[in-house]
Chain A
Amino acid sequence: MSTLADLSIGRTARVKNVGGSDEISVRLLEMGLTPGVEVTMLGAAPLGDPLEFEVRGYRLSVRRGEAARVEIVDPNVAS
């Protein structure tokens, strides 16, 4: 199961699911990380955390731990 935390720089993937139902997951969903949406990994902060993504036309920064809740489907891999 690959997650947003595993996505490498420059790659794009589609969101499959966001795990959990607590405040953090709700936040991720509200900010647009819903199943089916495309996300591109842009980079990481100096110490490797947090990460920066592009989603729905804007930039979002998320911690690695939080990003790990978002399951992705690699559009290049036949599912």
Chain B
Amino acid sequence: MDDPPPVTTDEFRRLCEFLYRRTGMVFKEDKRYYVERRIRERIRATGSTSFTSYFARLRSDFRGEAEKLVNAFTVNETFFYREDHQLRCLTTDLLAKRIAAKPRGDPLLIWSVPCATGEEPYSIAIWLLEHWPEVDAYDVEIVGSDIDTQVLEVAREGIFGKRALIRLSPELIAKYFVPIDENSWRIIPELRQSVRFSSANLMDTAEMRAHGRFDVIFCRNVLIYFDESSRRIAAENLYENLVPGGYICLGHTESMSRISPLFEVCRFSDAIVYQRPLEGP
């Protein structure tokens, strides 16, 4: 089939509106080329003859097209230091705020959910060691959870390939990993022990509640896959899993639906995050 024609401004607009309504994903003008390329890929992949017929297919979610389109926008491989501006926000702003709010000596609790094969929680650990001067002064607990028990096993093993480490400098790799063969490295034992892995389903209130309350939660690039009703339940659960004043970070294109009225939007220099208010249920 010929290359699909370029997407018009009006078509781009309509698609972004639709995506935002369905998933909460937001795309700014500077992402136009990125979005357009993916739309055209999907038009080609579905054998649609025009944007209009593709859009109709998308709207009716024919053959799960909505999820396929969302997949096209999320990087399905995870890697260390992904969206590091949020890690920067953590050590520049969030932890300081949490420390000021807590009794001295209380641990700081950070949750990565879903954690998949562990890149995110291990990244948090490495980042804290590298960028947080006070890392020795405070007791930090990092928990990584996922619905998939198989990926949790992989996470506990802590073995990663070249692609996962692509953002890490050779110095960092040498410091925190032990090479196994030319294509795999294993996280050093001290770091493996610093992250606790557990099973959790965002939709399961009892299971979520059992994890207790956290100061900071990273819940990135998963709520966009949920329907609106499921997002409500997840938002309620995540609210309960935050201490009053605690923060939740989503993926950088996500605007959390159902965020209001539960959470407040907070702007820091490196990221926009959401906060559970100090007062309230």
Do they bind each other? no
B interface residue numbers (CB < 8 A to A): none
A interface residue numbers (CB < 8 A to B): none
